[in-house]
Amino acid sequence: MRKLRVDEMDRLSVEQFREADKFPLVIVLDNIRSLNNIGSFFRTADAFRAEKIVLCGYTQAPPHREITRSALGAEMAVAWEKSPGAREAVESLKSQGYKVWCVEQAEGSVLLQHFEPEPGVAHAFVFGNEVEGVSNEAIAASDGCLEIPQFGTKHSFNVSVSAGIVLWDYIRKKII
């Protein structure tokens, strides 16, 4: 057994990615402050061929050296747009027919293992600020909250790690 070389992985070019069909999902970033986390979201969006990322509030947008450092070029392939706030983004996505779920520990949240995406419906997932989490306004406007079970002493994952967990679970249940 050996590791594959990059040229053996049959990955899409940036142009091919832009033209390729996307999975029915959108990532919404609610006031993410870390440029490294933003870059990580772009890489995750690329890996799961998300439709786009919505950058809300003070979440920085590309081009930025620190975003590129962790995105490794994914910010050139993944579509993105700015929104003044996460509540506005949630309302807009819902008006377009998306089911919108905030990834947050909240009263009445659904544990990720119990979440079943609706067939034939596109979904959006809101990820919140590294300290404050998803804004209460976004939660109130959404269809609900998803919670990732945790078994240690800490009460949260890094926000970009949460994205990898949630999006893999979504793709696994919806697509694969």
pLDDT tens digit sequence for 28-86? 999 999 999 999 999 999 999 999 999 999 999 999 999 999 999 999 999 999 999 99
Helix or strand (DSSP H, E) at 4: none
Q: How many CB atoms lie within 10 A of CB 149?
A: 9
Closest residue by Cα to residue 44 from 66, 23, 21, 15: 23
pLDDT at position 37 is 98
pLDDT at 175: 76
Domains of the chain: 12-174 (3.40.1280.10)
What is the reported pTM? Answer: 0.96
